[in-house]
Chains A and B, each alone.
Chain A
Amino acid sequence: MELLGLSPALLALFVSFGFMVGVLFGFFGMGGSFLITPTLLILGYPAPVAIGSGLAFYFGTSVIAVLKHYDVGQVDYRLGAVLFVVLSIGIELGSRLVFGLEALGVAELVTGVAYVVLLAGIGLLFLRRAYRLEDAEDGDDGVSDEEIPPIARKIQSYEVAPMLSLSSGGRASLWTILGSGGGVGLVSGLIGVGGGFIRMPAIYYLIGTPLTAAVGTSLFAGLFSGAFGTFTYGMSGGVDLTVVSLLLVGSALGARIGSAATAIVEEDDVIVYFGIMMLLASAGIGLSELANWLGVGSLDALSVVLLVGSSFAVASIILYQVLASSKKAETDTQSATDSRG
């Protein structure tokens, strides 16, 4: 029996996986498309479809993120517009590269290897953050949201024409914007991630805008470039709308719960699990590549368990902590009422 061209098991998997990804990324404040593309790759979707669907999922979650915040915050619209153009060019080049690699028969391998490196890198960064949180007496690093980091000031001091005036008062070389935005766009188009986790730091550290403007400008440019990425892959039939829709149904609900959980659960308590989850996901994709190479089907099953299972486990930890905290708060209120009575 099939519904929407998918077996009931796959249908349930996509909605529940979308839900878990939504919980995770509503909680940690990321888009989560970098778990979608590798999962589709492991499930046997061709690289262009996995990448295009990942970008479409990212676009959908960006729309929800913008709606959630009513606006995108402090935005440098001129920089955002230039970035949108540059990101779109990068995405277009990335997608052409994917179709070129597909013609050579190595697109899945290249994308898989890129994900092994990317997820392991993110995992290690989160583990380092968890380690630093343990050492730090408090989380305040003393840097104001309105400050521009020293490295960005240094880059801005090299005035290579043409220069673009930023809303914060500084000026950035168009070449810096082209290089950083184009690079991020290329990565997005090549492996199907929204790229917020590299786009925002690129705007902050390389182009040099205050943190508040970097977050808003990144979301603004990301929303439009996500739409462009969906359009680009959609032109060649590289988006599975059924899969994207099912993932969004789960993710929109999960993101609500995840972002509400931030008021109850301390990020510091679960950040280490998130880092481990990313490393397991990276290992899962590595195993999948190995399974393809060796032709061992059982390794492929293990890779799905590692990638999907680790996401389910960490999202469950967050949900469990929400329930435990709610129960504790309820018990405390009850005891306070009893002692008064």
Chain B
Amino acid sequence: MIESAGLPPVVQATALVGVVFVQAVALYVGYGVLERIVSPLIDRVANASA
């Protein structure tokens, strides 16, 4: 749970939903970018060693 003692539970719970949502979007986008960067690198290394 998001520890913000001063905030009412409704606000904390809404923030929690928002954080999980943003985190899921960031992970999806982040891993997508990583895949685009890493895939050509792996191919290049594999081709060089072949």
Contact = CB atoms under 8 A, between A and B. Distances in A.
Interface stretch (A127-135, A237-245, A314-322): A237-245
Given A227-B17, A241-B2, A253-B31, A234 B24 contact: no
Contact of B23 (A67, A231, A245): A245
B41 interface: no
Q: Is the interface of B mostly helix, strand, loop or mixed?
A: helix
A256 B39 CA distance: 13
Contacts of B13: 230-232, 234-235
A238 B1 CA distance: 7
Contacts of B16: 56, 230-231, 234, 239, 241
A61 interface: yes
B20 interface: yes
A245 B21 CA distance: 11
B19 to A, nearest CB: 7
Interface string B2-17: 1000000110111011
Contacts of A237: 1, 9
Interface in A43-95: 56, 59-61, 63-64, 67-68
Given A241-B1, A241-B2, A68 B28 contact: yes
A107 interface: no
Contacts of B14: 231
B33 to A, nearest CB: 12
Given A239-B1, A241-B16, A227 B31 contact: no
Q: Interface extent on A, as a size class?
A: 20 to 34
A252 interface: yes
B20 A236 contact: no
A64 B28 contact: yes
B1 A252 contact: no
B12 A63 contact: no
Interface centre among B19, B27, B31 (most CB of A within 10 A): B27
B27 A64 contact: yes
Contacts of B10: 235
Contacts of A230: 13, 16-17, 20
A249 interface: yes
A89 B1 CA distance: 22
Contacts of A236: 9
A248 interface: yes
Nearest to B1: A237
Contacts of A245: 23
A275 B35 CA distance: 31
A244 B20 CA distance: 8
A23 to B, nearest CB: 13
B23 to A, nearest CB: 6
A235 B13 CA distance: 5
B27 A249 contact: yes
A241 B12 CA distance: 12
Interface of B: 1-2, 9-10, 12-14, 16-17, 19-21, 23-25, 27-28, 31, 35
Given A67-B25, A235-B12, 8 more contacts: A63-B21, A63-B28, A64-B28, A227-B21, A234-B16, A235-B13, A248-B20, A252-B31
Interface of A: 56, 59-61, 63-64, 67-68, 227, 230-232, 234-241, 244-245, 248-249, 252-253, 256
